Amino acid sequence: MNLLTALRSAWRALAANTLRSILTMLGIIIGVAAVITMIAVGRGATERVQAQMKGLGSNIMLVLPGGVSQAGVRLGAQTRQRLTEEDALAIALEVPEVQVAAPTSRTTGQLVAGNINWGTSIFGVTNEYLEARDWGLASGRMFDAAELSGSAKVAWIGVTAARELFGDEDPLEQVVRVRGVPMKVVGVLLPKGQNSNGQDQDDVLMIPISTLRNRIWGGDTTSRLKRVWSISVKVREGQDMKVAEAGIKDLLRQRFKVQPGAEDPFTVRNLTEILQAQEEASRVMTLLLAAVAGISLVIGGIGIMNIMLVSVTERTREIGLRMAVGARPRDILNQFLIEAVTLSLVGGAIGVLLGAVATWAVGNFAGWQVSMTLGSIALAVGFSAVVGVFFGFYPARRASRLLPIQALRYE
């Protein structure tokens, strides 16, 4: 019996019991759909973390003021405002692993352009901030030294804020009022997307940190002491992040005259390491979800084996007749094995369609980021075929070992 004849025979046998064949395939259909959907959800989560890492920048750490306690209550990070611009300069000069250290302060306020206003985040930065964050300008220029030291009324604007204020107009050289202070836009930032907290990083206005200190805050205590909200640190490529972190901590403890054993009045966060841990967790979760979904495929395979055993029993006389007219045990084995694999592959094809629909539904209605790839489809369909061969082999082998005379006498 050639392969084409065996396929036709297997298809006729399955079509003769259509409802039973469909019920047998349900486990495979559900298993394949579940594997595809779960892998798509897991890959989507991983890609989202990778996008956040790319948006954050590489080899970056964030130095924040530490917390204080009042009446035994810890108030959390950034309640002890002790970091200054001089601390950032010292980190850049005295820690050899550090490429740049950019002091940053921030506030919020309404931007006004003509008769349009928009509330956004306002950052006081230096040119090193863009280098630390692997950020660039889509158009325009950097701040020059005189503007940084002289509290110049210039700004960079994010694409979201620019769109809200100017629509399709070019924001370069336009004037934006910040708390009544006119700022000329000298640069438009490249799109950055959302950060790990889901906040739009493009909804921002950046001005020289001296401008924020002297013109927006107006020379209060924080301004006079040149205190900053955070310091963004970029470590040189190839340098050990742990060594750099230890160097920063040692330097700041010396500058703050912290006694041995005392708590640090600052916090150093390795943001790249945090996101890498999230990425690894997403990968593990993807594998776990795929493994759980794969159980459905195994259950479907057991269903195929049970039905094929029933089919062998029902068709014992047919098997005996085939052997009597010259069919070899190998032909009988191939026939029942092809039936089992056909059940698996047809179920797998239907499962792929169901999985694609489920993935689309999760992405559009649940709002999750999903990513369905040809690799996940091939994995699910290939695994379903392996299940068909594995669980179909025993019934096929049992059928091929029947003795013709005993099979013909079977009632």
| 71 part of a folded domain | no
The total of structural domains in the chain comes to 2
| 379 part of a folded domain | yes
Same domain, 120 and 254: yes
Same domain, 9 and 90: no
Same domain, 250 and 297: no
| 57 part of a folded domain | no
- Tens-digit pLDDT profile for residues 147-201: 998 889 999 999 999 999 999 899 999 999 998 899 999 999 999 877 666 678 8
Taking only the tens of pLDDT, the chain with its 411 residues reads 566 766 776 677 677 777 777 877 888 888 888 888 888 887 777 777 666 655 555 688 889 987 544 444 444 444 455 789 999 999 999 999 999 999 999 999 999 998 999 999 999 999 999 998 889 999 999 999 999 988 899 999 999 999 999 998 999 999 999 988 999 999 999 998 776 666 788 999 999 999 998 888 876 555 566 889 999 999 888 888 889 989 999 999 999 888 888 888 888 888 666 666 666 777 777 777 777 767 777 777 788 788 778 777 777 777 777 777 777 777 777 777 887 888 888 888 888 899 889 888 888 887 777 878 787 788 777 877 787 778 888 777 877 777 766 666 655
Pairing of strands 154-157, 181-189: parallel
Same domain, 128 and 193: yes
Residue 395 near residue 305 (C-beta atoms within 8 A): yes
| 316 part of a folded domain | yes
Domain final position from 209, 238, 264: 264
Closest C-alpha among 112, 129, 124, 132 to residue 152: 124
Q: What domain range includes position 339?
A: 3-52+277-409
Domain final position from 240, 264, 288: 264
| 166 part of a folded domain | yes
Same domain, 294 and 258: no
CA distance 332 to 334: 5
Same domain, 347 and 217: no
- Tens-digit pLDDT profile for residues 230-266: 999 998 888 888 899 899 999 999 998 888 888 888 8
Same domain, 91 and 153: yes
Same domain, 174 and 221: yes
Same domain, 110 and 13: no
Closest C-alpha among 144, 143, 228 to residue 187: 143
| 74 part of a folded domain | no
Pairing of strands 73-74, 69-70: antiparallel
Number of Cα atoms under 13 Å in the Cβ half of residue 315? 24
Contacts of 373 by beta carbon, 8 Å cutoff, 6+ apart: 39, 40, 43
H helices of 80-203, in order, are 85-94, 127-132, 145-149, 159-166
Domain final position from 264, 286, 315: 264
Residue 241 near residue 272 (C-beta atoms within 8 A): yes
Same domain, 245 and 344: no
